[in-house]
Amino acid sequence: MGLGLTIKARQASVTCYPGHRVGIVTRAKDQRWTDYKPSGDADGDSTPRRPRVRRRFWLLLILAMAGGGLAQLLSGPVSAGHNSNTAPIAATSPQAPSSTPDSVYNPNTATAPASTSLNTPLAVPGVETTALTVRRGDTLGRLFAKEHLSVGDMHAILAVGGDTAGLKRIHPDQVIAVSHDDSGRILSLSMKLDDAHKLEVAKAANGYQASVVDIPTEITVAYAHGVIENSLFDAATRAGLSDPVIMQLIHLFGWDIDFSHDIRSGDSFTVLYQKIHRQDEPVTDGPILAAEFVTPSKIYRIARFTDPSGDTDYYTPDGRSVRKALLRAPVSYTRISSGFSLHRMNPVLHFVRPHYGVDYAAPTGTPIMAAGDGYIVFRGQKAGFGRCIIIRHGGGYSTLYAHMSRFRSGLHIGSRVKQEQVIGYVGESGEATGPHLHYQIMVDGVPRNPRTVNLPSAEPLLAKYRPEFDRELTTLLAEMSNGGVTRVASTNSSSAVKANTAN
Q: Please report the domains of the chain, with CATH numbers, ordered by start residue.
A: 5-34 (no CATH), 127-214 (3.10.450.350), 217-323+458-503 (3.10.450.350), 335-448 (2.70.70.10)
- pLDDT for 333 equals 86
- pLDDT for 290 equals 95
Whether the pLDDT of residue 445 is over 70: the answer is yes
Closest CA to 60 of 96, 101, 119: 101
Q: What is the pLDDT of residues 132-177, one digit of tens each?
A: 899 988 888 888 988 889 888 888 888 888 878 888 888 888 899 9
How do 374-381 and 387-392 pair as beta strands? antiparallel
Amino acid at 302: I
342 Cβ neighbours under 8 A, 6+ residues apart: 354, 355
Q: Give the residue, 385 or 497, on which the prediction is more confident.
A: 385
Q: What is the pLDDT of residues 216-240, one digit of tens each?
A: 888 889 999 999 998 888 999 999 9
Q: Give the residue, 16 or 143, on which the prediction is more confident.
A: 143
Measured CA to CA, the distance from residue 231 to residue 480 in angstroms comes to 22
Measured CA to CA, the distance from residue 497 to residue 479 in angstroms comes to 20
Q: What is the DSSP letter of 220?
A: E
Q: Give the residue, 501 or 143, on which the prediction is more confident.
A: 143
Of the ranges 17-26, 62-71, 485-494, the best mean pLDDT one? 62-71
- pLDDT for 12 equals 41
Measured CA to CA, the distance from residue 192 to residue 129 in angstroms comes to 16
The radius of gyration computed from the CA coordinates of the chain, to the nearest angstrom, equals: 48
Measured CA to CA, the distance from residue 389 to residue 437 in angstroms comes to 11
- pLDDT for 432 equals 87
How far apart, in Å, do the first and last CA atoms of the chain sit?
Answer: 120
Q: What is the mean pLDDT of residues 86-99?
A: 40
Phi then psi for residue 429, to 5 deg, are -70, 155
Measured CA to CA, the distance from residue 446 to residue 427 in angstroms comes to 26
Q: What is the pLDDT of residues 285-327, one digit of tens each?
A: 889 999 999 999 899 999 999 998 888 999 999 999 998 889 8
Neighbours of 89 (CB within 10 A): 19
CA 169 → CA 83, 139, 279, distances in Å?
A: 60, 9, 24
Q: CA 474 from chain center: how many Å?
A: 35
Q: What is the pLDDT of residues 27-76, one digit of tens each?
A: 444 444 434 344 444 444 444 555 555 676 677 777 666 655 544 444 44
- pLDDT for 392 equals 96
> Which DSSP helix (H) or strand (E) runs through 376?
strand 374-381
Mean pLDDT for the chain overall: 76
Q: Are 180 and 149 in contact (CB under 8 A)?
A: yes
Measured CA to CA, the distance from residue 374 to residue 465 in angstroms comes to 28
- pLDDT for 488 equals 52
Of the ranges 53-67, 276-290, 392-406, the best mean pLDDT one? 392-406
Burial class (CB within 10 angstroms; exposed 0-12, middle 13-18, buried 19+) of 16: middle
Q: Are 398 and 442 in contact (CB under 8 A)?
A: yes
Taken as a whole, the chain contains a residue count of 503
* Beta bridge partner(s), residue 417: 374
- Confidence category of residue 350, pLDDT binned at 50, 70, 90: low
Measured CA to CA, the distance from residue 133 to residue 175 in angstroms comes to 5
Whether the pLDDT of residue 79 is over 70: the answer is no
Q: What is the pLDDT of residues 240-273, one digit of tens each?
A: 999 999 989 988 988 888 777 778 899 999 999 9
